[in-house]
């Protein structure tokens, strides 16, 4: 397993991180989930990403059970706060001091640990002053409940403002967790240059575009049984944007590039994200242990310039690059 620094911080993480969004506590039975975590550990993955909202807190509990007995100092455990949890009442969401301070304690209890290595704002909160949010994160760090802080799906302006406050408060703001893959490149024009300047690293999610870049979805064909596109619990909503026949036809054109590199299409997709020098890690998910084994083989792979250029040519015209697509929910009216 390749180990990289998270941005310019001293924190080292595995280039392949294991995440349990849309799987643990929801799509996948617990025995299968625990087997995937075990396989991730056996493959050398040390970085595990979750969030309190995943399966309405159940995913954190599953991950905590899966890591029981492991040497805590040898792991990097990441979780997030923002989306509604519990019954979803008015203070059960967002980045208020109240929600952050209560949420970190709940996450630690479910994960079975005294601290997380990285605590991340899962979206930008337009309903709470940024100063209040960052001061609460500072207290979480000073209380020893998190070593570092980060954000997920913040735009460049929001990242810069949050980082400035973190510097004033003398706490380490080290990461951004955006969606990023061959088809979804909205971070490249603004977020990545800003983060490079500030020393912030990317831990990217959906490197295989919800499974589309594996090539298992074929144009004009029914979706495979048990795939994300058939998941009525929420997975199908996230993969729809990639399922146009035009996109699926282009994905099939990646096969010669993958063959030349000695990779599967999934490995090619993960390796592609790791070519970006601002990407510290790519998060993979799995419903079966063999999927973990396949995807970790992307660690340490270097694609040549010819392969990268051909990938760009294949997807020309269907790549989403608009930085305005990085959007957090607007301020809500509670009447």
Strand partners, 5: 12
pTM, full prediction: 0.91
Question: Comparing 34-38, 216-220, 269-273, which segment has the lowest mean pLDDT?
Answer: 216-220
Say how far apart CA 165 and CA 15 lie, in whole Å.
Answer: 28
Per-residue pLDDT, 209? 92
Say how far apart CA 16 and CA 130 lie, in whole Å.
Answer: 31
Given a cut of 90, is residue 22 above it in pLDDT?
no
How many percent of the chain have pLDDT more than 90?
77
| Cβ partners under 8 Å of residue 60, min gap 6 | 50, 51, 52, 54, 79, 107, 110, 111
Question: Nearest-CA neighbor of 179 among 217, 147, 149, 212?
Answer: 212
Provide the 3-class DSSP secondary structure of residue 176: strand
Per-residue pLDDT, 333? 62
Say how far apart CA 115 and CA 121 lie, in whole Å.
Answer: 16
Strands (DSSP E) found in 123-233: 146-151, 173-176, 201-204
Please give the radius of gyration of the chain, using alpha carbons only, rounded to the nearest integer. 19
Given a cut of 70, is residue 8 above it in pLDDT?
yes
Task: Specify the long-range contacts of residues 129-132, CB closer than 8 Å, at least 24 apart.
Answer: 130/161, 130/162, 130/165, 131/165, 132/95, 132/96, 132/97
Per-residue pLDDT, 301? 93
Say how far apart CA 116 and CA 108 lie, in whole Å.
Answer: 7
Given a cut of 90, is residue 23 above it in pLDDT?
no
In whole numbers, what is the pLDDT of the chain averaged over residues? Answer: 91
110 touches 140 (CB < 8 A): no
Given a cut of 90, is residue 242 above it in pLDDT?
no
How many percent of the chain have pLDDT more than 70?
92
| Cβ partners under 8 Å of residue 289, min gap 6 | 35, 36, 38, 39
Per-residue pLDDT tens digits for 84-141: 988 888 898 999 999 999 999 999 999 999 999 999 999 999 999 999 999 999 999 9
Say how far apart CA 281 and CA 279 lie, in whole Å.
Answer: 6
Answer yes or no: 242 catalytic.
Answer: no
Please report which helix (H) or strand (E) contains residue 281, including its range.
strand 279-284
φ and ψ of 52, to 5 deg: -65, -30
Q: Which of 245-249, 270-274, 297-301 has the highest mean pLDDT?
A: 270-274
Per-residue pLDDT, 245? 84
Say how far apart CA 301 and CA 270 lie, in whole Å.
Answer: 9
Per-residue pLDDT, 335? 46
Domains present along the chain, CATH in parentheses: 11-208+264-303+321-325 (3.20.20.100)
φ and ψ of 23, to 5 deg: -125, -75
Candidates 54, 119, 180, 217; catalytic one: 54
Instruction: Tell me the pLDDT band of 32, cut-offs 50, 70 and 90.
Output: confident
φ and ψ of 201, to 5 deg: -100, 155
């Amino acid at each position: 397993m390749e180990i990289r620094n998270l941005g310019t911080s001293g924190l080292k993480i595995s280039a392949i991180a294991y995440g349990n969004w849309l799987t643990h506590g929801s799509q996948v039975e617990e025995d299968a989930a625990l087997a995937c975590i075990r396989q991730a550990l056996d493959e050398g993955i040390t970085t595990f990403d979750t969030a309190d909202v995943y399966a309405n807190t159940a995913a954190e509990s599953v991950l905590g059970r899966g890591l029981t007995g492991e040497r805590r100092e040898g792991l990097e455990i990441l979780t997030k706060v923002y989306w509604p949890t519990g019954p979803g009442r008015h203070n059960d969401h967002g980045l208020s001091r109240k929600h952050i301070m209560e949420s970190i304690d709940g996450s630690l209890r479910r994960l079975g640990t005294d601290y997380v290595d990285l605590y991340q704002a899962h979206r930008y909160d337009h309903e709470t002053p940024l100063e209040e949010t960052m001061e609460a994160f500072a207290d979480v760090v000073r209380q020893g409940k998190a070593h570092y802080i980060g954000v997920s799906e913040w735009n460049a302006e929001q990242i810069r403002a949050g980082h400035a406050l973190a510097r004033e408060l003398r706490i380490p703001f080290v990461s951004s967790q955006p969606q990023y893959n061959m088809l979804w490149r909205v971070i490249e024009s603004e977020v990545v240059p800003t983060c490079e300047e500030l020393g912030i690293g990317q831990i990217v999610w959906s490197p295989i575009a919800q499974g589309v870049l594996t090539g298992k979805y074929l144009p004009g064909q029914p979706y495979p049984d048990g795939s994300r596109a058939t998941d009525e619990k929420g997975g199908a909503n996230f993969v729809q944007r990639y399922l146009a026949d035009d996109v699926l036809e282009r994905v099939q054109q990646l096969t010669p590039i993958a063959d030349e590199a000695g990779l599967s299409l999934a490995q090619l997709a993960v390796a592609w994200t790791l070519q970006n020098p601002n990407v510290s890690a790519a998060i993979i998910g799995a419903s079966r242990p063999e999927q973990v084994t396949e995807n970790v083989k992307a660690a340490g792979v270097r694609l040549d310039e010819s392969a990268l250029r051909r990938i760009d040519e294949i997807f020309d015209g269907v790549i989403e690059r608009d930085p305005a697509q990085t959007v957090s929910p607007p301020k809500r009216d509670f009447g």
